[in-house]
Chains A and B, each alone.
Chain A
């Protein structure tokens, strides 16, 4: 990879996006601790480089399928922070009018067409999106995010095989954070890399450092180019780690089933710190500019928070709406 090929604007954009996700999630953690959030929250802190590196390659009209840990995907794809925050607080002004919540935020206007809490369930759905792209003859692609845990479901195997057989423009992005709730990778896999499974289905694959946004960006770029050119799907395994518990409220941030040393080692690889150091060392951004970016992002998060808190809950009549078109 020749990093000089990436423009400074793009690097700054990546930095801003990752930091926005981080700050958004930190705000959620804080609101959760204050008892202001009614539902379960699976935060993306630590994994920001995956969503951002991947989505920087996508156009607005490209598609994404997302997961229970989906806030990062939504922000990276250009989702509206206010509508996200409102949804998470269960408010009428949220993306799904308060009916979906954190695990089901879809934002069709930016291409997020599926966000499911059932592990692996988004994989075959992404295959269908790929089929539609192919039959409609566009050059769109679909990025399908899922965890290491989800890649042990039948849906993963059935979906990837079909995408391969039909040569569909889907990029399967496995966020391998080494845990499915408490179950560590080694207890659920007898292989070192999930990416090797691509061979079994005859598709391209890659293993990437998911803590390095540029590495993710470069690898997904190649996969997107292949997909747009009609060369079929790719499985990209991003090695990453969640810095918080499986969900907010997971006792001791997950230290019941993973070691403090392990957590500390991964936190040293913080993708945001890494990019920030690079931007400063390169002279791309000054300390002052970095501070300004932070302030700008904090203001946006604050605006989203205030919007969400001041928004009304949905009216009770909403219960019966939206089951079918027209009521």
Chain B
């Protein structure tokens, strides 16, 4: 039998669709989500299948989108709220960090909030330069807010399994989708470069537990911990370096809250060398947090100082030459690895 392959958006869509078929309490809403099927096609066909009651277009009202999800979740529904770009979540941020994240704890565990917020993030260089307000990676804001689970898949297979788990989870989950990952079918060079962006995804529903990292590539010399698009870039660099005799292990944490510290620490103990690669601004980043955890737990095993490869602390500039400079590129990853192993 031919193995069917899905791209990232198709995997997301299939997860939502199958879960909505299974559980009539699941509803989904957001800007352009219904009739149009989402700016990136992630909800295409869902309104036709499940109707306008369960698949809703909303006005541009981020606070209301998130607040509505909270109210519905408190009273028996299982909403998926879409924020069109993560950059716009600021308009509804109080609902995220003061309401959604805290309500269960403040209530002494009386309340249950099965809410998923799905939202795209990240740079689309060189497909479409989005500048400072349409290109950000903001996952660090949310790991700093206790009470939210944070999921950041990098591949279609992971996206489907993790999204199903997120939907079935009884706690709030922020499910972040890097938007470059949507483009592999539209632009063939992307698939050529990053082959895992279109891959085998089983038809039947399956779950991947939150809090389980994935070793995307086994290696001996250096551990690369990378997220979202940086997983793909790191894999490509690692393949090339293999020919030069450098063996790189690539770990994708996949979920930031909960974080699979064990898999990370185990790899660090094996290689003694660590590079953390994310697209976020460096200061106060997820990379910084992972670095701290490694220092606290495996300091004695380190053969070299840990490196972070992140965006510098500036907004994303519009001009393609500047955006390219800000977003970590494969050559930055290659240089970091070579420096780390001393070649």
Interface positions of A (Cβ within 8 A of B):
38-40, 87, 90-92, 96, 98-104, 116-121, 149-150, 152-155, 180-183, 187-189, 256-257, 313-314, 316, 318-320, 323
Contacts and interface: CB of A to CB of B under 8 A. Distances in A.
B297 interface: no
B190 interface: no
Nearest to A121: B91
A199 B58 CA distance: 24
B318 A149 contact: no
Given A181-B31, A181-B39, A313-B321, A118 B61 contact: no
A256 B36 CA distance: 7
B59 interface: yes
Contact of A181 (B32, B91, B126, B322): B32
B133 A319 contact: no
Contacts of B321: 90, 98, 313-314, 316
B87 interface: yes
Contacts of A150: 60
Contact of B318 (A101, A119, A120, A188): A101
Contact of B314 (A121, A181, A319): A319
Contact of B134 (A40, A90, A120): A40
Contact of A104 (B57, B314, B318): B318
B314 A182 contact: no
Contact of B60 (A92, A96, A119): A119
B31 A180 contact: yes
A314 B320 CA distance: 10
B131 A101 contact: yes
B128 A39 contact: yes
Contact of B322 (A87, A99, A182, A256): A99
B224 interface: no
Nearest to B320: A38
Given A313-B319, A313-B321, 8 more contacts: A39-B131, A90-B321, A99-B317, A101-B129, A149-B60, A183-B31, A183-B36, A316-B322
Interface in B129-159: 129-134
Query: Would you call the interface of chain A mostly helix, strand, loop, or mixed?
Result: loop
Nearest to B63: A154
A320 B128 contact: no
A117 B273 CA distance: 41
A38 B317 contact: no
A97 to B, nearest CB: 8
4 smallest A-B Cβ distances: which pairs? Answer: A101-B318, A90-B319, A98-B319, A182-B36
Contacts of A120: 60, 91
B35 interface: yes
19 contacts: A39-B128, A39-B131, A39-B318, A90-B318, A90-B321, A98-B317, A100-B131, A101-B129, A101-B318, A101-B319, A104-B131, A117-B133, A118-B90, A118-B133, A153-B61, A153-B62, A183-B36, A313-B320, A319-B312
Contacts of B31: 180-181, 183
B58 to A, nearest CB: 8
B131 A181 contact: no
B301 interface: no
Contact of B129 (A90, A187, A320): A90
A96 B32 CA distance: 31
A103 B267 CA distance: 44
A152 to B, nearest CB: 4
Given A152-B61, A313-B319, A118 B39 contact: no
